[in-house]
Amino acid sequence: MTRTVDVFWSFRSPFSYLATPDLLKLRDDYDVSVQFRPVLPIAVRAKESLFTDDPRRVRYIMLDMVRRAEFLGMPFGRPSPDPVVQDLNTFEVADEQPYIYRLTGLGIEAERRGKGLDFAFHVAALIWSGTPGWNEGDRLGEATAKAGLDLAEMEAALAAEDPMPQIEANQAALDASGHWGVPTMVFEGEPFFGQDRVETLRWRLDQAGLAKG
């Protein structure tokens, strides 16, 4: 029986974006089923807990995401627009969120079609490369097509089947794993949190004898 790695991932997380190439390689290198399980970012699903007590957290994340992208040699820029509508001075999150629910639902539908991680790779590259107006024109459709998917077909499927029950199930599974952040990879109940923990996960898969030779 094929064993599974669950990947809890957010379109608003720069570190989810930075982890995705390594996750694609892990999928190629190991005899495991990599299940893409997108969740809403913590700014939306638990906004009361976000950066309320220490501004150093935000400053460090802003520093580290740019530094890590440079280290990895990956294109990087602040999203325009931000997938979450939020005042970054007060951290207030708007009630209306036109982007993140759509993106997360599309991630659910992409996984239903067997291409969740591929969709995440191309769409995150569009969003986090700093391309202005990633949501305008045909840009999102073109990124979707690179994953072998049709954006209009996916959105029609989402109109027929609400993705929120699956999003909520993913969030509950992330909580049950023992972690709350993204990206978190879970293998046989053991969570591995962070873009820099994919190598540790590979070590664990090696121990389990799952490398493809």
Instruction: Output the domain CATH number for residue 48.
Output: 3.40.30.10
Q: How many domains are contained in the chain?
A: 1
Answer yes or no: is pLDDT of 91 > 80. no
Please tell me the distance from the alpha carbon of residue 57 to that of residue 168, in angstroms, as a whole number.
26
Does the residue 211 lie in any domain?
A: no
Can you give the residue range of the structural domain that contains 79?
3-203
Does the residue 213 lie in any domain?
A: no
CA distances from 187 to 79, 178, 192 (A): 31, 12, 8
Does the residue 208 lie in any domain?
A: no
Please tell me the distance from the alpha carbon of residue 26 to that of residue 64, in angstroms, as a whole number.
23
Does the residue 143 lie in any domain?
A: yes
Query: Over the stretch 101-122, which tens digit does the pLDDT of each residue have?
Result: 999 999 999 999 999 999 999 9
Over residues 76-104, mean pLDDT:
90
Query: Over the stretch 31-82, which tens digit does the pLDDT of each residue have?
Result: 999 999 999 998 898 766 555 556 787 788 889 999 999 999 999 999 999 9
At residue 161, the pLDDT reads 96
At residue 50, the pLDDT reads 57
Does the residue 69 lie in any domain?
A: yes
Does the residue 210 lie in any domain?
A: no
Does the residue 91 lie in any domain?
A: yes
At residue 1, the pLDDT reads 76
Q: Of the given ranges (48-62, 149-163, 174-188, 198-212), which has the lowest mean pLDDT?
A: 48-62
pTM: 0.93
